[in-house]
Amino acid sequence: MTLHVEVFWSFRSPYSYLATPRLAQIEAEYDVELQIRPVYPLAVRVDGFFKRQDKRWPMYVARDCFRTAQMLGMTFGPPRPDPIVMDMATGEVAKEQPYIRRLTHLGQAAVEKGRGLPFILEVSHLIWSGQVQGWNEGDHLARATERAGLDLPELDRTVEAEGERLEATIQASHARLEEVGHWGVPTMVFKDEPFFGQDRIETLLWRMRQHGLTERAGA
């Protein structure tokens, strides 16, 4: 029996990036279907979010992400540029957000073409691996999209023509995340139970095993 898991995920979240290879491994090894639900980060969803946080928090997150990446054998580095346009010193987030809006719409379009997981895997690596400066320049994004089995110009045309519909779907994902009782990313939801954070993947597997999780044939 195929088990279904919703994955609420953001291109601005380093923890989403760190979780994605293991999520892809789960879908490859087990009879599990992941429903990727791209959402905007809290910096965009919640007005003044960073202004209310302890100023030590970003430094802790950076340290934790570097060591988690080392533990997982992944490369990691700050995104260049940041998918969110904001002043890190003041916590002020710009009203216009060209990067994260485009990325999130592209992610939703990729989901609808059945390639959501490969797309977020490739693009998050592009942004967060620390190996590319100017991920938004040249053909970096186009090549990542191609590796995911998609065509960037085609996705961009969908985003331009159907932006309002894609935005409505993203907003519905925000509402669904709140409905199940969480706000952060990555959050995996199985049978309406949220599992927040890349460090809850093993707990998610434990719960799915209670519901008959099986390996894929030939995995």
Q: What is the 3-state secondary structure (H, E, C) of 108-129?
A: HHHHHCCCHHHHHHHHHHHHHC
pLDDT over 90 (residue 93): no
pLDDT over 80 (residue 49): no
Residue 45 contacts by C-beta under 8 Å, 6 or more apart in sequence?
Answer: 39, 174
Flag the least confident range among 67-71, 180-184, 210-214, 215-219.
215-219
What tokens appear for 22 in the block?
């293991």
Alpha-carbon torsion angle 158, 163, 167, 170, nearest 10: 10
Flag the least confident range among 43-47, 81-85, 130-134.
43-47
Q: Choose among 59, 39, 58, 29: nearest CA to 120.
A: 39
Q: Can you name the residues that pair with 37 across neighbouring β-strands?
A: 8
Query: Rounded to an integer, what distance in angstroms lies between the CA atom of residue 17 and that of residue 177?
Result: 19
Q: What is the DSSP string of 149-174?
A: T--HHHHHHHHHHSHHHHHHHHHHHH
Alpha-carbon torsion angle 47, 63, 101, 113, nearest 10: -130
pLDDT over 90 (residue 92): no
Query: Rounded to an integer, what distance in angstroms lies between the CA atom of residue 20 and that of residue 43?
Result: 21
The type of residue at 56 is R
pTM of structure: 0.95
pLDDT value, residue 218 = 76
